[in-house]
Structure formats: C-alpha cells, structure tokens
C-alpha cells in the first residue's frame, strides 16, 4: 500500500509541475508575470523526485539523493526557511561563489533572537512597514 501511495503522490506532483497552464489563467496575466511563469515552468521540468519508501526522516531523505548527485556539488534550499540577502546577490549565488572559491562544503546559518524573529514576522504578516535590515 505504501509504495502504491507514494507512486500516486509522485504522479500528482509531476502532473502539477509539468502540465501547461490553462489559457483562461494565462490570458489574465501581464507580460512580465507571464514571462516569470514560463521561467518557473521551465525550472519545474528539471526537478527530479525521490520518495522515501520508509519514513526515516529528513537526513535520510537527503542521503538518498547521493546516487542522483553522483559526487557533484549540491545546493540544498529548504522551502520552510526564509532566505534573505543584504546584497544584490541572492543567498544561493553567494553560497555557490563561496564553494567555488574555497572548493569545500559550505554551510550557511544565522542566529535570530526571538525579538528579531518577532519583528520580522510582524513585518511579513502586516506588511505595513517595508522590511529593513535590523
């Protein structure tokens, strides 16, 4: 049952990511947004799925990707993390450049105090004040 369920989930994701957008959706978009949507659609076709057969946690899920990666460098960005750069370069570009410069694994972490986190959440939720560097 578990394998059947996983294959259904995988097919749902593939259909969602690879299906063309309906015309009634795209004709409402500005040219700028339409170009962005096309870019995201192209990127989504490059995604490869690997579903855990056994639920062994996040670390094991990453470990499973080793065969796909074939000893090549990997940039892992988590969907539930806020990535914010204080320069004109994205966080991912900064990490890639650091890796290429040092030729070694790079890890990026930042410590937030509860006060800073609450301020950031307030700005994100209420959107009344433009986000600023604190």
Spatial neighbors of 14 by CB under 8 A, at least 6 apart, are 49
Report the C-alpha gap between 107 and 95 in whole angstroms: 8
Number of domains in the chain: 2
Maximal CA-CA distance, the chain: 50
- Of 72, 98, 115, the last residue of a domain is 72
CB atoms within 10 A of CB 95: 19
Model-wide pTM > 0.75:
no
Provide the domain limits for residue 103: 73-134
Closest by CA to 108, choosing from 100, 98, 118, is 98
Residues 67 and 84 in one domain: no
pLDDT tens for the 134 residues of the chain, in order? 444 556 777 777 777 777 777 888 888 888 898 888 888 888 877 877 777 778 888 888 888 888 888 888 888 887 777 777 888 998 889 889 988 988 888 887 666 677 776 666 665 565 544 444 44
| DSSP structure class, residue 20 | P
């Amino acid at each position: 049952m578990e394998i059947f369920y996983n294959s259904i989930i995988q097919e749902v994701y593939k259909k969602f990511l690879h299906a063309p957008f309906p015309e009634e959706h795209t004709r409402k978009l500005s040219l700028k947004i339409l170009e962005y949507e096309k870019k995201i659609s192209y990127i989504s076709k490059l995604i490869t799925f690997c579903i855990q057969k056994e639920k062994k946690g996040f670390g094991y899920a990453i470990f499973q990707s080793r065969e796909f990666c074939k000893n090549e460098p990997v940039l892992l960005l988590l969907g539930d993390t806020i990535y914010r750069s204080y320069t004109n370069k994205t966080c991912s570009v900064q990490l890639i450049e650091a890796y290429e410069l040092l030729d070694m694994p790079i890890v990026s972490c930042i410590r937030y105090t509860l006060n800073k986190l609450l301020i950031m959440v307030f700005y994100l939720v209420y959107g009344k004040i433009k986000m600023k560097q604190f």
